[in-house]
Amino acid sequence: MHKDCFAYKHHGCTALKVRQCEGCSFYKTKEQYELDRQKAIERIRSLDVERQEHIFETYYGGKLEVLKDEC
């Protein structure tokens, strides 16, 4: 059991239906998870406005704001 894993909450795993911590390929610390998440957001924000809108609507429920190019 990896209590320091980002997905470990309430005595269970939020990433997998079956908790099998040993050798889990989803394991990462909360700090690693936050860093990876920030990198993903930065990558999305580097895309054109239409792609950003599509990704944010599809995967984030429109909760993230699209950054438009400032010309």
**9: helix, strand or coil:** strand
pLDDT of residue 68: 65
Is residue 29 in some structural domain? yes
pLDDT of residue 42: 92
Is residue 27 in some structural domain? yes
Is residue 36 in some structural domain? yes
pLDDT of residue 60: 83
Is residue 30 in some structural domain? yes
Q: What is the pLDDT of residues 15-71, one digit of tens each?
A: 888 777 888 888 999 999 999 999 999 999 899 999 999 998 998 887 777 766 654
Give the pairing of strands 8-9 and 12-13: antiparallel
How many domains does the chain fold into? 1
Contacts of 29 (CB under 8 A, 6+ apart): 4, 5, 6
Q: What band does 14 get if pLDDT is binned at 50, 70 and 90? A: confident
Is residue 67 in some structural domain? no
Is residue 65 in some structural domain? no
What the block records as the tokens of 8 is: 């470990």
Domain of 26 in residue numbering reads as 8-60
